[in-house]
Structure 1
């Protein structure tokens, strides 16, 4: 049974403060709720816990071919660990620092759904609006609703397999969203009966929200996601080729030849056009912002009794969890995993306690599954962290162990681990 947010807050009293908005309103299902955020703990984690976390991240760095990683682990009853590991490049001695920006990949999908639910609350759109009401250039999709685009149940396919070569060959090319959507529209499945990994769905959703508001996706993200949550290091960039921010964590891809040589000379993909991701996978962030966003998404998903809100009520089995609302539900945690040229990312947070893990690896040769497995491994380690002096460890657990997902990271490896 899910514990209530009120009980979780009581458990960590004295260490944490709940960040309240001026209105003091209760969280809704419309977006990640700023007034349910748990502040960053002030204590440091134990050396043993940090050692386990660091070992897990270094294992994933090797498995992915990355030269470095960013990680944030917030444990309300124990402390926080926010760190940059490794270096910024294969021939660089420059350390990775926690102020560096990176691309968050498919975590963008949850933000696009935040905008949808906010606009639905405002009456600008309805969740059951057909996509064709706002994107008139796709008349054959009249049986698909905006909510189905968000939930991954539109039946549309993922066009990235068809476009990856072009993305990698011309990373600075500016793409029209319709080009990306068309690749996924060509692969149609059953509507409303199963979850499919579909970049076309979230690109179309972004186009629909632009059509309904006459605002750009960049403006919508700022208005409904980043500004309300004070995510100063997060944005959906314009289509102009650019690094993910300043300072940027350089991003790389180890192609087949580099993998054969042991992942020692990856190709750099720091400067690209975010148009290839748009509202599916185009956003950028920092590790602290990503953790803050993930925590707000999870804590805003439950009401005062600890029950999941409307946005999360139609979850369907997908991969090793459930999926709905642009995110995965795994045990009591909500989160996402992502891939964008040069980066693998993941963030998960616990709806019961606010425990949060966020990671970014700077090589996208492997799949997003590797980053997702790393985040779950870190969450399992964090869930066992001993309470700091004067604090009480809450009674909750996860339906997996750190060893389970340590093995998954090894199975998803594309580069030598030793």
Structure 2
């Protein structure tokens, strides 16, 4: 069945055209075990999770990868006191058979929201904005803007229609998936629709919310969102391989990304599609090393005051059992962080405070399997083995 973008709970997705051969599933590459300080560092300390646990993870990951038809995946699992596990499996290019490697960058989709909301919360700490300010204080023309607060927007409780669910937006993207979109242009698709509920009444995932928060950051700081996030978030966090692209730029090395977000549902190569339509909601790029660092920073509030971090972590029910949502952050099975999906790519970056554990997944497909996102299938399989008392089990709404 053809999938529509508004049916994807924690994803920035769309429908586009362009058809290629379906992705092939290749044999796994070697398993790389590294210490808990991150991939690539070797200081002589024991690192692996042990042969039994490693073998179980190897099998579970390969079983899911093959059953779900995932071309390539990178898995990073760091468990202080036990060790760590990093694996690149499958192919980065289904045409050439180039293997997936752990140093590749991917488009992280809705994980961008953790960066945008962190930037906003830094402005809260600076005293330049307040979470309970109405959006109308900063941006004109927002439906019911006098009642919708920045907190409602960051927590996905504004009631604003998501522009990715607008039929004309989908049609325009289908016409040219490489075209750029400006923030106010995508908002125009959303604002032609009535709000879906009163502010704060319930949870509804809407990319419109994050585009508005991006505009608030620009209005208050006088800086481009990409520049502000670089200077106030990426640099202090020590994230050297994470960026907010200007357009379709995609630094090497990166895998090709495969999607069925096309009018016919056929598989397409989305590698060079412009993610600008997602902007503050889903346009960023990162790699395994940076996401490993970022998981703990987001979950523990390293860049924020303790008071503001407490506000961020006040998660509320989403309506989907087992998953709650705070300010640009989700909680599922005790894991805190976010997942991301954009045509061709999926990711998961989460942190488990009770174990100080981190899980990062990077996939080069967003094609559903068994009615679920492939990243969810992998995260569930891994955590059922590694942290059975804390299983990542984020559900998705029915199609």
Q: TM-score range by the shorter chain?
A: 0.7 to 0.9
Distance of 2:204 and 2:55 partners within structure 1: 37
Counterparts of 1:206-245 in structure 2, within 5 Å, are: 206-238=214-246, 240-243=247-250, 245=251
| Aligned equivalent of 2:15 | none
The Cα of 1:250 is off from its aligned counterpart by 1.2
Residue pairs, 1:6-405, within 5 angstroms: 43-138=47-142, 140-162=144-166, 163-185=169-191, 186-188=193-195, 189-238=197-246, 240-243=247-250, 245-254=251-260, 266-300=267-301, 309-320=310-321, 321-366=323-368, 369-383=373-387, 397-398=389-390, 400=391
Check conservation: 1:114, 1:224, Cα contact below 8 A.
Answer: no
Q: CA deviation at 1:229?
A: 1.1
Partners of 2:201 and 2:268 in 1: how far apart? 40
Cα–Cα, structure 1 residues 93 and 373, in superposed 2: closer, same or farther, change >3 Å?
closer
How far apart, CA to CA, are the structure 1 residues paired with 2:216 and 2:116?
11
Q: Is the 8 A contact 1:345 1:368 kept in 2?
A: no
C-alpha distance in 1 between matches for 2:64 and 2:345 = 13
Runs of 4+ that moved beyond 4 A: 255-260, 301-305
| Cα separation, partners in 2 of 1:290 and 1:167, compared to 1, 3 Å | farther
* Conserved 8 A contact 1:347-1:375: no
Structure 2 stretches of 5 or more lacking a match?
A: 1-34, 38-42
1:178-211 per-residue CA deviation (whole Å, 9 max, x = no partner) reads 2222333425122112111100001111111111
With over 3 angstroms needed to count, the CA separation of the structure-2 counterparts of 1:184 and 1:64, relative to structure 1, is farther
- In the alignment, is the contact (CA less than 8 A) between 1:69 and 1:362 conserved in 2? yes
Aligned equivalents of 1:203 and 1:287: distance in 2?
A: 26
* Distance in 2, Cα, partners of 1:336 & 1:296: 13
Question: Alpha carbon RMSD of aligned pairs, Å?
Answer: 3.3
Shift of 1:165: 4.6
| 5+ residue gaps, structure 1 | 1-14, 18-38, 261-265, 385-396
Question: How many Å apart are 1:334 and its aligned residue?
Answer: 0.5
Distance in structure 1 (CA, Å) of the matches to 2:116 and 2:198: 23
Distance in 2, Cα, partners of 1:73 & 1:119: 32
Partner Cα separation in structure 1 for residue 229 and residue 36 of structure 2: 28
**C-alpha distance after superposition, 1:72-107 (max 9, x if no partner):** 111112111122110112222211111111111111
Instruction: State the alpha-carbon separation in 1 of the partners of residues 262 and 220 from structure 2.
Output: 43
What is the number of equivalent residue pairs in this alignment?
352
1:27 corresponds in structure 2 to none
Check 1:75–1:256 CA distance in 2 against 1; reply closer, same or farther (3 A cut): same
TM-score by length of 1: 0.75
